[in-house]
Amino acid sequence: MTRRWTTRTRDRDCSGDDGFTLVELITVMVIVGVLAGIAIPLFLNQRSTAFEAQVKSDLHNAAIAEESYALHHDGAYLTSGTAADLTDEGFRGTDGVAISLSAPTTGTGYCLIASADALAGKPGNPQWLTDQGTDGGTPQQVRPANC
């Protein structure tokens, strides 16, 4: 008889462990949803920040190539075309970032305009850089007066 009683006790202990309750599952789903709601926007913001940094980097490198071009062409800047025209001066652009060249409205020099496909329609796209004026050779999010 003792053996039978032990078997029933063991069966009864195992039969009560059916899994998670509905409340436990819903609680876990809510926690995962809240964490995803926090993490996804932060991830997307980091992507935009990385693309903006790449645009600024490409503008800086194109400006160096422009100065190199002027050095090899008696001080004359390349004032029309795209960044592909600067490849002879060592410029290699990033895929998805388009750079175009133009002449300033006053004086000599150059204006560079860069935009990224991934930033289309977002603030900070396109960006301008010029060797003229007070921008100090830093990328601007607003078109300089002389470009």
Give tens-digit pLDDT for 2-53: 555 555 555 555 556 678 899 999 999 999 999 999 999 888 888 888 888 8
Nearest-angstrom CA–CA distance, 143 and 90: 26
- The per-residue pLDDT for 126 is 76
**Res. 140: pLDDT tops 90:** no
**Res. 91: pLDDT tops 80:** yes
Compute CA 139 distance to the chain's CA centroid, rounded to the nearest angstrom: 16
Residues 102-126, mean pLDDT to the nearest whole number: 79
- The per-residue pLDDT for 16 is 60
Q: Of 127, 119, 131, whose CA–CA distance to 99 is shortest? A: 127
Structure tokens at 39: 């993490």
**Band (103; pLDDT cuts 50, 70, 90):** confident
On whether the CB atoms of residues 69 and 89 are closer than 8 A, the answer is yes
On whether the CB atoms of residues 83 and 63 are closer than 8 A, the answer is no
On whether the CB atoms of residues 104 and 111 are closer than 8 A, the answer is yes
% residues pLDDT > 90 (the chain): 12
Nearest-angstrom CA–CA distance, 84 and 133: 26
